[in-house]
Amino acid sequence: MRFDVITLFPELFAPFLVCGVTRRAYEAGLVEVRLWNPRDFASGNYRRVDDRPFGGGPGMVLMAEPLTLCLESVWAERAVSGAAAVPTVLFSPVGQVLNHADVERWSASSGAVLICGRYEGLDQRFIDTFVDHQISLGDFVLSGGEIAAMALLDAVARLQPGVLNDEGSHQMDSFNLALDGLLDCPHYTRPEAWRDQLVPQALMSGNHAHIERWRREQRLALSQRQRPELIQQARLAGHLSASDEAFLADLIENPERDA
Ligand code: SAM
């Protein structure tokens, strides 16, 4: 899988690619990342990539031509190196908000060309001509698409086989649709007593079935309180057992109860 990232700030990606999960995926060649700077495709002494918006108003807009020349170079290089043709993605607050199902799809794909906007954004004619998907990280505005690109690359990298130290760990993570799509349960580690707070008794019982039931109830209770729509989705997908439903009914009747 290969991602080509178009960014005015390729140096932002260097530390990201040499640490932790992304480094492992990158070094193992599971997720290949190439960085491209549209400034390298701009003309003139100043290699200008932006200009003022038509109609006036604040800020600058990234011009279509340097972005187009950069994108065409990406395509040409991908073709020469035998990489698959992939969709072009723009990170933008107006895009679809990224979720785990999207990440799973991208993690099983051949990759993408990821475009990081800056300033007020890109000339709309470039977007209309070349962009296949627009992805948002959420309902807030970042200064650039680089953090959004790193978020996607990180989420994709940790789903690659062999990248996490413990293969089972992402199976139990929040939003795993193959499991139940619910939020993860709380976690505890040593010491058993920390500043007058003890680890929940169930986790110290040594009884595997008891521990699993406690974790299941924590996932149900947390999801019910924080993200009730996840409970409904799990129910529709057939992921809730009769004992899950009984637990939830009791929780709704006694919302203050301690799961
Ligand atoms: N004028 C744009 C708007 O209000 O929709 C915001 C532009 S923002 C300052 C500059 C760039 O940051 C965008 O082109 C986009 O690439 C990126 N960006 C900002 N917020 C984002 C978000 N929530 N998700 C993904 N990318 C974002």
Structure token digits, residue 8: 């005015």
Buried b (16+ CB within 10 A) or exposed e, 199-226: eeeebeeeeeeeeeebbbbbbbbbbbee
CATH of the domain at 34: 3.40.1280.10
Residue 51 in any domain: the answer is yes
The answer to whether 190 is a known catalytic residue is no
| pLDDT above 80 (res 169) | no
* 221 in the same domain as 137: no
Q: Tens of pLDDT along 13-29?
A: 999 999 888 899 988 99
User: What's the pTM value of the predicted model, to 2 decimals?
Assistant: 0.95
The CA 95 to ligand 1 mean position distance, Å, reads: 9
For ligand 1, whether the C-beta of 179 sits within 6 Å is no
Average per-residue pLDDT in the chain? 96
The answer to whether 93 is a known catalytic residue is yes
The answer to whether 158 is a known catalytic residue is yes
pLDDT at residue number 115:
99
Q: Tens of pLDDT along 132-149?
A: 999 999 999 999 999 999
* 193 in the same domain as 81: no
Residue 28: helix, strand or coil by DSSP? coil
Residue 163 in any domain: the answer is no
Question: Nearest 5°: phi and psi at 118?
Answer: -150, 170
Share above pLDDT 70 across residues of the chain, in percent, rounded to a whole number: 99
Q: Are the beta carbons of 69 and 6 closer than 8 angstroms?
A: no
Question: How much is the average pLDDT of 87-109?
Answer: 98
* 85 in the same domain as 42: yes
- DSSP 8-state assignment for residue 172: G
Residue labelled with tokens 């070094």: 27
For ligand 1, whether the C-beta of 113 sits within 6 Å is no
Q: Give, for ligand 1, the residue of 49, 67, 91 to mutate: max count of ligand atoms closer than 8 Å to Cβ.
A: 91
Name the domain count of the chain: 2
| pLDDT above 70 (res 202) | yes
For ligand 1, whether the C-beta of 7 sits within 6 Å is no
The answer to whether 10 is a known catalytic residue is no
- Domain hosting residue 249, numbered range: 175-253
* 212 in the same domain as 103: no
Question: What is the separation of C-alpha 211 from the centre of its chain, rounded to a whole number of angstroms?
Answer: 30
Residue 205 in any domain: the answer is yes
For ligand 1, whether the C-beta of 116 sits within 6 Å is yes
Q: How far apart are the first and last CA of the chain?
A: 42
* 196 in the same domain as 149: no
pLDDT at residue number 162:
86
- DSSP 8-state assignment for residue 180: T
* Long-range CB contacts for residues 160-164, cutoff 8 Å, separation at least 24: 160/1, 160/25, 160/28, 160/30, 160/31, 160/107, 161/30, 162/28, 162/30, 163/21, 163/24, 163/25, 163/28, 163/30, 164/21
CATH of the domain at 236: 1.10.1270.20
**Torsional class of 69: left (φ above 0), alpha (ψ -120 to 50), beta (otherwise):** alpha
